[in-house]
Amino acid sequence: MSKRIAGPEIEKLIQLLARVPGLGPRSARRAALHLIKKKDQLLVPLSQAMTSAAENVRVCSRCGNVDTTDPCTVCSDPRRDPATVIVVEDVADLWALERAGALNAGYHVLGGTLSPLDGIGPDQLTIRQLVSRVAEGEIKEVVLAVNATVEGQTTAHYLTDQLSGMDVRVTRLAYGVPVGGELDYLDEGTLSAALRARTAF
C-alpha cells in the first residue's frame, strides 16, 4: 500500500482535479500543488468563482444553453435574428459557433445525438422542445449544425422528418475541405463528400 503524502483535504483536491477532462492523476497533482503555492492569487479566487458558478449556473429553459440567467444571454439578446435557429448537439458546439460569429441567430441545444448503443432516443434529447419552438411560428429557418458523424446525421434526418409539414426551411452545414486542409491528407469520405457538394466558382 502506498504511503499518503498529503492530508485528506489535499488528497481530495487532487482526486477531484484528476476527474477534469485533460487531467490525469499526475497532472492533477501538479495543478493542486500550483494552486496551493498561489493560494491568494489562484486557489481562493478559483474556489470563489466555482462556488458562485455552482450557485448561479442554470440551463436555459428555451434553448438548453447554460448561463447564469434564464432565458440565457443568447436568447434575451434583441439584436439576434429570431427567425433563424441553429441546432447544435452540445453547449461546446454553441460556443464554437459563437466564436466563429458567422450567423447572428438563436440556438437550440439538443443535449446529444440519437445513439441506440448508449440508450439515447428522441425522448432523451430536446427534440420535442425544438418542435414546440418552431410551432410558435416565429422561426423561419432551422440550421442543423450537428457533427458530421453517422449519429449526428441520423439525428439531422430525424429532425427533418419531425419538422416536415411545418412552415420552416431546414438547412444543414456544408461538408468539405477544411481551411488549411491538404487534399493528400484528407480521408476518402470527406473528399468524396466535398466533390459531391462542389459549387460553381
Partner 1 sequence: MEWRDEGIVLGTRKHGETAAIAEVMTRAHGRHLGLVHGGRSRRQRPVLQPGNKVDLVWRARVDEQLGTFQVEPLELNAAQFMESAVAVYALQTLAAHLRLLPERDPHPALYEALLAILDHLGEPAVAGELFVRFELLLLEELGVGLDLSQCAVTGSRQSLAYVSPKSGRAVSLAAGEQWKDRLLPLPNFLLLRAGEGASASAVNDGFRLTDHFLLRDVYNQRDQAEPESRASLLGALNKTLSSAEN
Q: Which residues bind partner 1 (CB under 8 A)?
A: 21-22, 114-118, 121-122, 148-151, 153-154, 157-158, 160-161, 175, 187-190, 192-193, 196
Distance CA 101, CA 80 (A): 12
101 vs 180, which CB is nearer to partner 1? 180
Q: Which set of grid coordinates corresponds to residue 196?
A: 459531391
Residue 110 · residue 92 · CB < 8 Å: no
In the complex, minimum distance from the CB of residue 127 to partner 1, in angstroms, rounded to a whole number:
12
21 vs 101, which CB is nearer to partner 1? 21
N-to-C CA span, the chain: 68
59 vs 148, which CB is nearer to partner 1? 148
- Taking alpha carbons only, the member of 5, 2, 1 closest to residue 33 is 5
In the complex, minimum distance from the CB of residue 117 to partner 1, in angstroms, rounded to a whole number:
4
Q: DSSP code of 91?
A: H
Per DSSP, the residues of 112-148 read S--BGGGTB-GGGTTHHHHHHHHHTS---EEEE---S
60 vs 146, which CB is nearer to partner 1? 146
In the complex, minimum distance from the CB of residue 16 to partner 1, in angstroms, rounded to a whole number:
16
Distance CA 24, CA 109 (A): 29
97 vs 159, which CB is nearer to partner 1? 159
